[in-house]
């Protein structure tokens, strides 16, 4: 589809897949997954997706709620087996899911400009499990009273990952692999350690202005993803995920409706459970999930009216949001 090629920046690096009602209209990789070795990105290249993994975690939590092992009103003080210190023990699962918990955020995006700043005094190679992030926030006071307002919060999803582990007895990523990825046949999706990457994983690149060259983000993000994000996936697997999710194969249609309903908001943003919502009209919202890290940008959008799905990932941290909007506009 030439109109999509015309929309993409000339030097775009990553992958794009566009589908309508389950039929793929466009799918292609661009640029290099490994710049020095000139290895090209393809539609089955595995990319980092940053906070996109929060949606997977939310699906896992909703599964446990449907199974009667949790509820939206379950309180973290009753679920976790470690000292929460100044964190309110009455924070609920629902408040963690919709970012209204007030839990201290280890990466407060309103005050900390770069995710890589986290690792100045705390080596990123120590982050191999969700619990490894606890030292970055467990001793901090609450940001605000639970339920008071919406404020995007990474720590909340770290805690949700730990809740999955406590309830199931499995590491959260093992649970997601078993209950979310495999049922969708997402065989190229997982949480991988940077020093043990499988084949066909793209490096994520940051541009060094002073040296006028790219370097990888291996010292800028967690060594392995956590409940807050960090999954590797392909645009093909993201399409498979939506396909199964929307027909009720992961959670019931009733639970999905809850996830896609506005659960919290501020003047500019609307959020369900694990998913962002784009306001179209007063009662019409389109779900999307996204992620951004140094060298990483990802968005996956679904238009329920036109049945259009757009998935874009860049391993140079490019503006995938603008590109996704232009592609959707060109197809509706």
Give the lowest-confidence range in 59-63, 71-75, 120-124, 287-291: 120-124
Rounded to whole angstroms, the Cα distance separating 276 from 98 reads 10
Q: Given this model, what pLDDT does residue 1 score?
A: 67
pLDDT, tens digit, 9 for 90 and up, residues 41-53? 999 999 999 999 9
* Tally of domains within the chain: 1
Q: What distances in angstroms separate CA 193 from CA 23, 55, 281, one per listed residue?
A: 33, 20, 42
pLDDT, tens digit, 9 for 90 and up, residues 177-229? 999 999 999 999 999 999 999 999 999 999 999 999 999 999 999 999 999 99
> Which pairs from 275-278 meet CB under 8 Å and 24+ separation?
275/55, 275/58
Nearest one of 152, 131, 130, 155 to 141, comparing CA atoms: 155
Nearest one of 160, 159, 149 to 59, comparing CA atoms: 160
Rounded to whole angstroms, the Cα distance separating 323 from 307 reads 18
**271 C-beta neighbours (distance < 10 Å), count:** 19
Environment class of residue 55 by beta-carbon count within 10 Å: exposed (0-12), middle (13-18) or buried (19+)? Answer: buried
Residues across the chain:
332
Rounded to whole angstroms, the Cα distance separating 332 from 325 reads 11
What CATH number should be reported for the domain holding residue 157?
A: 3.40.710.10
Domain extent at residue 166: 2-331
Residue 240 confidence class, pLDDT cut points 50, 70, 90: very high
Question: Which tokens sit at 315?
Answer: 């391993």
Residue 116 confidence class, pLDDT cut points 50, 70, 90: confident
0.85 surpassed by pTM: yes
């Amino acid at each position: 589809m030439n109109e999509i090629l015309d929309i993409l920046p000339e030097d775009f690096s990553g992958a794009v897949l566009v589908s309508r009602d389950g039929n793929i209209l466009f799918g292609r990789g661009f640029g290099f997954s490994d710049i020095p070795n000139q290895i090209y990105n393809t539609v089955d290249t595995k990319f980092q997706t940053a906070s996109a993994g929060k949606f997977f975690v939310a699906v896992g939590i909703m599964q446990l709620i449907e199974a009667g092992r949790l509820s939206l009103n379950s309180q973290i003080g009753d679920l976790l087996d470690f000292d929460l210190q100044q964190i309110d023990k009455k924070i609920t699962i629902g408040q963690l899911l919709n970012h209204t918990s007030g839990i201290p955020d280890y990466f407060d995006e309103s005050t900390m400009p770069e995710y890589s700043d986290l690792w100045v005094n705390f080596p990123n190679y120590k982050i191999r499990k969700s619990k490894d992030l606890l030292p970055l926030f467990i001793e901090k006071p609450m940001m605000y009273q639970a339920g008071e307002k919406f404020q995007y919060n990474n720590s909340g999803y770290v805690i949700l990952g730990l809740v999955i582990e406590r309830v199931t007895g499995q590491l959260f990523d093992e649970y997601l692999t078993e209950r979310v990825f495999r049922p969708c046949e997402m065989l190229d999706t997982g949480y991988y350690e940077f020093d043990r990457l499988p084949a066909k994983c793209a490096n994520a690149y940051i541009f060094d202005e002073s040296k006028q060259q790219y370097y990888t983000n291996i010292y800028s993000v967690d060594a392995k993803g956590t409940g807050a994000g960090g999954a590797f996936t392909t645009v093909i697997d993201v399409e498979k995920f939506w396909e199964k999710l929307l027909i009720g194969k992961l959670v019931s249609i009733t639970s999905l409706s809850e996830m896609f309903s506005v659960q919290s908001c501020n003047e500019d943003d609307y959020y369900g459970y694990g998913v962002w919502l784009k306001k179209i009209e007063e009662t019409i919202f389109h779900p999307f999930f996204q992620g951004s890290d140094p060298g990483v940008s990802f968005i996956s959008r679904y238009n329920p009216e036109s049945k259009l799905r757009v998935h874009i990932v860049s391993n140079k941290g490019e503006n995938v949001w603008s590109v996704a909007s232009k592609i959707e506009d060109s197809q509706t």
